Structure 1
Amino acid sequence: MIKMIALDLDNTLLNSQKKISTVNEKILKQLHQAGVKVVLCTGRPINAIRDYLDQLELNQPDDYTITFNGGLVINNQTKEPLFSLGMTKADLQPVYDYLKANQLPMDVLDFERVYELTELGPSRYRQTVQGIEFVDTTMDALPNGNHVFAKAVLATAPAKVTLVKEKIQLPAHIRVVQSQPHILEFLPAKVNKMLGLNHLLSKLGMQVENLMTFGDADNDLEMIAGAGDGVVMANGLPEVKAVANHLTASNDEDGVALYLKKTFDINL
């Protein structure tokens, strides 16, 4: 029995205009009101998706969001963390060295803000993410010691992202995933959305068999493969479709709502 629905945002729940459609909103609200947990799963911080949480009315005491691609599981109401996992400045040094050598930009995120490394040139990330503080700084000026960072980001032209994804070689403690055509993310090796979901399932007394997931991209693969029912959008990547239990229509065709309507036998 499905008790939790976890959804990626970009190119999954959101259409090409970065909106949650009326039909997707209606069916998710209906299921949430019926007691099914609805969990947004994103690489962004929670403040950057607050409008989506408010639109879906995901504001109950036991509503949570998977942020930073599984690096932080946070309560929507209190903002208290249920689980977090990050990395240090030293862990990020190989990423910095590669991007600097190839004249590419870099943003570094902790769980509060984005640090844009100005010595590497302008990044597209500031135009992509809203609702979080941006700080212009340098690699040398980043906090040292035990300061925990969530991830690093390359945000540039899609063609450059594709090339880097194909060629980059980094130490085993760093995982590389593409979250959008123009964004490559560098995460702690163990971090993925399914890691965060496993902690949330345990907190709520649920099993993976109770979990349905929707996604399209590299950073969704583990939660698609690990769920009781992993559903991939028609616009999803081939390697993500390969591990899915089911496929649905694209994000611009209300693929989430169409699948939920059929699965839960809901009339809208």
Structure 2
Amino acid sequence: MKPMKKMIALDLDNTLLNNQKEISPANTKILRCLHEQGIKVVLCTGRPINAIWHLIEQLDLTRPDDFTITFNGGLVINNQSREALYQNGLSKEDLVPVHDFMAARRLPMDVLDFEQIYEIDPDHRSLYQQTVKNIRFEDTTFEQLAAEDHVYAKNVMAIPAEEMPAVKSEVLATDRITKRVQVVQSQPHILEFLPQGSDKAVGIKHLLNHFGLDFADLMAFGDADNDAGMLKAAGDGVVMANGLPAVKAIADHETASNEEDGVARYLTKTFATIL
């Protein structure tokens, strides 16, 4: 019999959350139960912790040894103290080629540091404000962004999903961008520009090390490009039925969709001996 996993890492959108951006009662119940029994439950997201605090509270992940992976692995933060266990970021200079690309095509640009979001050129409103709540947006220009020693977590481009494939292909073909930042699609309408080497798996590795664990102790759930690293590294990487084909190809197992309590179904089966 395989040893029981000691940490569960969960992507949010289209994985733990249903299409109404909620954690279902079934998912809530089993995650709280496993957490009570000492299994680490870790939310892994591209968003800052303030934007998902209501979800952290819903799962009761507010104890001194509870952490969250935010900014797609760029920040590992203690939920109670808000102290960073690990942090990786971008300089303004890293974002120059991204801004040049966006400005030339009149695309929206949202730059995040670890506290707030800077909406560049607010005349061209981004869809990102519809996605992220509980964090302050500030209208500004790229020129006004702080430069010296200021660390940014990422840049986000949020556009209609039907426009994304063509724009994403053009971004990935732009060497000036890909040499400076890592580009991943996190939702059908969101493309993220991250520090080179950023990955949820990187943040999780620091957290595993903190607890004296390794990837063999990890079960991870995800659906999209920005989940692939942690699913591949995990001792058990679980993809949702609604996941991307490329992510399904590297996962160990597949579960039901985010609309069908896929997380709860898989956990109920896997942890049956202790539930």
In which range does the TM-score fall when normalised by the shorter chain?
A: over 0.9
Alignment of 1:86-235 (within 5 A): 86-118=89-121, 121-168=124-171, 169=174, 170-235=177-242
Aligned partner letter, 2:224? A
Percent identity among equivalent residues? 59
Does 1:265 pair with 2:238? no
- Pairwise CA RMSD of aligned residues? 1.2
Worse-superposed segment, 116-125 or 179-188: 116-125
Aligned partner letter, 1:44? R
3-state secondary structure, aligned to 2:101: helix
Give the aligned partner of residue 247 of structure 1: 254
The partner residue of 2:19 within 16, 26, 51 is: 16
3-state secondary structure, aligned to 2:86: strand
Give the aligned partner of residue 31 of structure 1: 34
Question: How far did residue 135 of structure 1 move?
Answer: 0.4
For 1:215 and 1:186, the matched residues in 2 are separated by 19
Cα deviations by residue, 1:104-144 (Å, 9 ceiling, x for unpaired): 11000000000000266111111210111110000000001
Question: How far did residue 173 of structure 1 move?
Answer: 2.7
C-alpha change, 1:107 and 1:201, in structure 2 (3 Å) is same
Is contact 2:122–2:139 with CA below 8 Å preserved after alignment? no
For 1:267 and 1:195, the matched residues in 2 are separated by 30
Is contact 1:24–1:256 with CA below 8 Å preserved after alignment? yes
Give the aligned partner of residue 9 of structure 2: 6
Unpaired runs of at least 5, structure 1: none
Aligned partner letter, 2:45? T
- Corresponding residue pairs, total: 268
For 1:147 and 1:21, the matched residues in 2 are separated by 38
Give the aligned partner of residue 44 of structure 1: 47
Question: How far did residue 164 of structure 1 move?
Answer: 1.4
3-state secondary structure, aligned to 2:178: coil
Aligned partner letter, 2:82? K
3-state secondary structure, aligned to 2:151: coil
C-alpha change, 1:266 and 1:161, in structure 2 (3 Å) is farther
For 2:69 and 2:165, the matched residues in 1 are separated by 26
Question: How far did residue 171 of structure 1 move?
Answer: 3.3
For 1:237 and 1:151, the matched residues in 2 are separated by 23
The structure 1 segments of at least 4 consecutive aligned residues displaced by more than 3 Å after TM superposition are none
For 2:29 and 2:260, the matched residues in 1 are separated by 15
Is contact 2:10–2:222 with CA below 8 Å preserved after alignment? yes
For 1:266 and 1:22, the matched residues in 2 are separated by 21
Cα deviations by residue, 1:153-187 (Å, 9 ceiling, x for unpaired): 00111122221112212232311111111111000
For 1:97 and 1:221, the matched residues in 2 are separated by 29
C-alpha change, 1:173 and 1:120, in structure 2 (3 Å) is farther
For 2:106 and 2:121, the matched residues in 1 are separated by 12
3-state secondary structure, aligned to 1:214: strand
3-state secondary structure, aligned to 1:44: coil
For 1:131 and 1:266, the matched residues in 2 are separated by 39
Is contact 1:104–1:120 with CA below 8 Å preserved after alignment? no
TM-score normalised to structure 1 length: 0.98
